[in-house]
């Protein structure tokens, strides 16, 4: 759900006639953010320095300092770049299937080696800039996932006026709580269990918003 890849893929050959505005800027950003991810994956936050990122990226350190300011700025840009993709939530045909697949993505990303996602979350406790960017990324992901809930409402699986955000947080929170905070041992059933719990609660009306005070239907 989060693991960031390059946001601006560049063609292998430059366009022949007109130069893309920002082409060099975008290329530098790609090089630098790739280096941040690699350094973070290898050394974690404590080993991440502006100079190591500059050296690894091949971009002049003056440019790195001028454009990103500090390590927090680099991390924030990695997180912001992760939203520049076309990620969509799973579409399996059922709410429980979609949520289980989503949770599986989260569990897989959190267990990935190198642990980029885990390192980014940990870094958000060190840098306000990274924390703000991490929140923006989660906001982006939860917003994109709302379609999972509206599809379930349309299918009649859960009540109309279900609060999509509360349902999505209930479905995913046990993953984050256990993987990030409690650090429980790997449990292959966790994604499915958390999905099923949220679906049963949703079907029982746990996330139903109160009826609006209107008079046009009984």
CB nearer to its own copies: give 29 or 141. 141
Phi-psi category of 156—alpha, beta or left, where left has phi over 0 and alpha has psi -120 to 50?
left
CB nearer to its own copies: give 47 or 205. 205
Torsion of CA 200, 206, 211, 217, to 10 degrees: 20
Site string for its own copies, 14-53 (x = CB under 8 A): ----------------------------------------
CB 78 to its own copies: min, Å? 17
CB nearer to its own copies: give 20 or 126. 126
For position 173 contacting its own copies by CB under 8 A, the verdict is yes
CA separation, residue 33 to residues 111, 164, 165 (Å):
21, 33, 30
CB nearer to its own copies: give 59 or 78. 78
Question: What's the Rg (C-alpha) of the chain?
Answer: 21
With CB under 8 A as the contact rule, the residue among 125, 143, 155, 160 that binds its own copies is 125
Strand partners, 162: 208
For position 183 contacting its own copies by CB under 8 A, the verdict is yes
For position 170 contacting its own copies by CB under 8 A, the verdict is yes
For position 131 contacting its own copies by CB under 8 A, the verdict is yes
For position 186 contacting its own copies by CB under 8 A, the verdict is no
With CB under 8 A as the contact rule, the residue among 155, 180, 186, 209 that binds its own copies is 180
For position 88 contacting its own copies by CB under 8 A, the verdict is no
Contact 99, 174 (CB under 8 A): no
Going by C-alpha positions, the residue among 25, 20, 26 that lies closest to residue 6 is 26
For position 7 contacting its own copies by CB under 8 A, the verdict is no
Q: Measured between alpha carbons, how far apart are the two ends of the chain, in Å?
A: 41
DSSP state of 177: I
For position 57 contacting its own copies by CB under 8 A, the verdict is no
- Residue 208 backbone phi and psi in degrees, to 5: -75, 130
CB 37 to its own copies: min, Å? 19
Q: Where do the H-state alpha helices sit in the chain? A: 23-43, 50-57, 61-68, 71-82, 95-111, 116-123, 128-155, 164-176, 190-203
Residues that bind its own copies (CB under 8 A): 121-122, 124-126, 131, 134-135, 138, 166, 169-170, 172-174, 176-178, 180-183, 193-194, 196-198, 200-201, 203-207
């Amino acid at each position: 759900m989060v693991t960031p890849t390059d946001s601006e893929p560049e063609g292998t050959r430059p366009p022949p006639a007109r130069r893309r505005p920002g082409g060099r800027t975008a290329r530098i950003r790609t090089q630098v953010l790739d280096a941040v991810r690699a350094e973070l994956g290898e050394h974690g936050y404590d080993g991440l320095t502006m100079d190591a990122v500059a050296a690894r990226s091949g971009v002049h350190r003056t440019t790195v300092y001028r454009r990103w300011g500090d390590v927090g700025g680099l991390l924030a840009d990695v997180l912001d770049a992760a939203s520049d993709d076309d990620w969509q939530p799973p579409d399996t045909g059922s709410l429980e299937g979609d949520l289980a697949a989503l949770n599986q993505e989260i569990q897989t990303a959190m267990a990935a080696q190198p642990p980029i996602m885990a390192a980014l979350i940990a870094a958000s406790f060190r840098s306000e800039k990274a924390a703000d960017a991490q929140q923006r990324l989660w906001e982006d992901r939860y917003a994109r996932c709302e379609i999972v809930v509206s599809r379930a409402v349309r299918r009649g699986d859960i009540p109309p006026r279900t609060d999509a955000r509360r349902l999505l947080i209930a479905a995913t929170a046990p993953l984050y709580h256990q993987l990030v905070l409690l650090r429980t041992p790997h449990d292959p059933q966790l994604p499915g269990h958390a999905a099923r719990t949220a679906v049963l609660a949703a079907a029982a009306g746990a996330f139903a918003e109160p009826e609006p005070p209107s008079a046009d239907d009984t």
